[in-house]
Structure 1
Amino acid sequence: MRYVTLTDVFVHPVAQKYLKRSGIAHAIATAYNAYRLAIQHGVNADLATKAGLLHDMGHYEWYSNGTWDYEQYKQNDIHAIKGAERAHKLLIRLGEHPQNAKEIALAILLHTDSYLPEGEFKRKPLQTIIKLADEADEEPGGKHHYRQIDDALALKKIKQLDELVNRQLQKERLDDII
């Protein structure tokens, strides 16, 4: 059962504020990558697409002398921590099941190694999928955050992904019955 759709999340003013800051085109591409990976690995596509969409909503804009400073970002970034908190709060506010909101927030928290201590770290499947989905869309120097997409096209792509998730969940329900 879906408590909250991607469209519900995407159109919310809080999501719009932070998605625009971190790049809507990248967020949507990551959500689609997360969907494909979730299907391949038997992970909940609803949770994966939401985590993929919201994975960078904690970004802070690191500027020096009026221009983006990628090196300063790489050295000081903790966007996954702030993003996990923002996503959890938003999802709960929208009516997402609390356990789902927690799983999504944890996947966002662990989607990058940029602030984690060195050494072995074992991610759960959803957390690994979000990391891989993000990496699949990265461009050198953080340029993936600056790709543009028309607002109407962005909403259309979100609605299409919602439909894919709905069909996948229906298929899984039918498979459980049979």
Structure 2
Amino acid sequence: MRYVTLTDVFVHPVAQKYLKRSGVAHAIATAYHAYRLALNHGVNVDLATKAALLHDIGHYEWYSNGKWDYEKYKQNDIHAIKGAERAHKLLIRLGEHPKNAKEIALAILLHTDSYLPECELKRKPLQEIIKLADEADEEPGGKHHYRKIDDQLALKKIKQLDQLVEKQLQTQKLEDII
């Protein structure tokens, strides 16, 4: 059962504020990558697409002298921590099941290890998919955060992805009955 759709998340003012900061086009592309990867690895497409859409909402804007400072970002960023918190709070407010909200938040928290001391993370399948989906859309120097997309086209793509997710969940439900 879906408690909250991608569209519900996408149109919320909090999501809009932080998605625009971190890159709407990147968030949507990452959500589509997560959908494909979730299908291929038997992971819940609803959780995967929501986590991927929200994976960068914790970004802080690192500027020096009015210009984006990628090196400063790489050295000081903890966006996955802040993003996990923001996503969890937003999803709970929207009515997401608390267990789902926690899984999504943990996938956001662990989509990158750039803020951790050097170590090997053992990610769960959903967490690994969000990491891979993000990497599939990355561009050198963080340029993927600055690609533009028209607001109407962005909403259209989110609604299309919602339909794909819903169709997949219905198919899984039928397969579980049979």
Determine if the TM-score, normalized by the shorter chain, exceeds 0.5: yes
Are 1:128 and 2:133 an aligned pair?
Answer: no
Stretches of structure 2 that go unaligned for 5 or more consecutive residues are none
Q: Distance in 2 between matches of 1:22 and 1:115?
A: 17
Q: Could you say what secondary structure the match of 1:43 adopts? A: coil
Instruction: Name 1:36's counterpart in structure 2.
Output: 36
Percentage identity across aligned positions? 88
Stretches of structure 1 that go unaligned for 5 or more consecutive residues are none
User: Runs of 4 or more off by more than 3 Å in structure 1?
Assistant: none
The number of residues matched between the two structures is 178
Are 1:168 and 2:173 an aligned pair?
Answer: no
Are 1:92 and 2:92 an aligned pair?
Answer: yes
Superposition pairs for residues 1-178 of structure 1, below 5 Å? 1-178=1-178
- Deviations 1:12-64 (Å, cap 9, x if unpaired)? 00000000000000000000000000000000000000000000000000000
Output the aligned Cα RMSD.
0.4
> TM-score scaled to structure 1, two decimals?
0.99
- Deviations 1:100-123 (Å, cap 9, x if unpaired)? 000000000000010122122100
- Using the TM superposition, name which of 112-121 and 78-87 deviates more: 112-121
> TM-score scaled to structure 2, two decimals?
0.99
- Cα distance, 1:81 vs. partner? 0.1
Q: Distance in 2 between matches of 1:88 and 1:177?
A: 31
- Deviations 1:65-102 (Å, cap 9, x if unpaired)? 00000000000000000000000000000000000000
| Paired letter, 2:173 | R
Q: Distance in 1 between matches of 2:124 and 2:117?
A: 17
